[in-house]
Amino acid sequence: MNKLEHIFFDLDHTLWDFDKNSGLTFDLIFKKHQVNIKLEDFLHSYQPINLKYWKLYREAKVTKANLRYGRLKDTFAALNYKVEDDLIELLSKDYILNLTNQNYLFDGTFDLLDYLKPKYKLHIITNGFEEAQHNKMKKSNLLDYFETVTNSEMVGVKKPDPKIFNFALKSANANIENSIMIGDSYEADIQGALNIGLDAICFNYHKTDLAPEIKKVNHLLDLKKYI
């Protein structure tokens, strides 16, 4: 590999602690709308259902609206908790409005970015929605670290589609040979990057059983071993 110059990060589940922020948001809106369900039970069912819907969204099998409604509908159904469709729609909208007000990042995020920023040009590639991702980065004081932010709505495709990686590389004036991708999703981030010859490191937040040849870390600061 040539001298590393550009580092591309995923946002959700990589720097921005999606599960923690999401849990705080559900706690807030359930109290507001008097949804009497144990938060721990809800999140236990919701988190895998949410990941399933994001996979369908990446594959263009559901729309943004389907994702936002369906993940809630399916979770309540799995828990045999009866909720009217109108309330699900209201919860879906309130969730999006309040989620970006949360600003918890993974341990070591600022230490890592402060370590990398003087040496490399940093960028974001995300499948998240443009306005939401911008607000998340603004509220959590991430914006100033990154020179470019590429999202799937901007490109019209989602990771792991090669087009979003190539778009991000072009926007950053970067080459595959002097760049690396860091993300939590093996399918979207790691395999997507490797498919175009872009080096990649998995932040193994999900504790996935990965092949030995895949570079991986369990804590963000462990990235210093590679970079």
Q: Are residues 124 and 206 in the same domain?
A: yes
Q: Are residues 202 and 149 in the same domain?
A: yes
Selection from 62, 80, 58 nearest residue 71 by Cα: 62
Residue 122 located in a structural domain: yes
pLDDT at 131: 86
What percentage of the chain has pLDDT greater than the value 70?
A: 99
What does the pLDDT look like over 209-224, one tens digit per residue? 999 999 999 999 999 9
Q: Give the pLDDT mean for 95-112.
A: 95
How many Cβ atoms sit within 10 Å of the Cβ of residue 160? 22
Q: How far apart are CA 126 and CA 110, in angstroms?
A: 19
What does the pLDDT look like over 106-158, one tens digit per residue? 999 999 999 999 999 999 999 988 888 999 999 999 999 999 999 999 999 99
Residue 127 located in a structural domain: yes
pTM for this predicted structure: 0.91
Residue 207 located in a structural domain: yes
What's the structural domain count of the chain?
2
Q: How far apart are CA 88 and CA 94, in angstroms?
A: 10
Q: Are residues 110 and 189 in the same domain?
A: yes
What does the pLDDT look like over 34-51, one tens digit per residue? 999 999 999 999 999 998
What does the pLDDT look like over 181-220, one tens digit per residue? 999 999 999 999 999 999 999 999 888 899 999 999 999 9
Q: Average pLDDT, whole number, for the chain?
A: 95
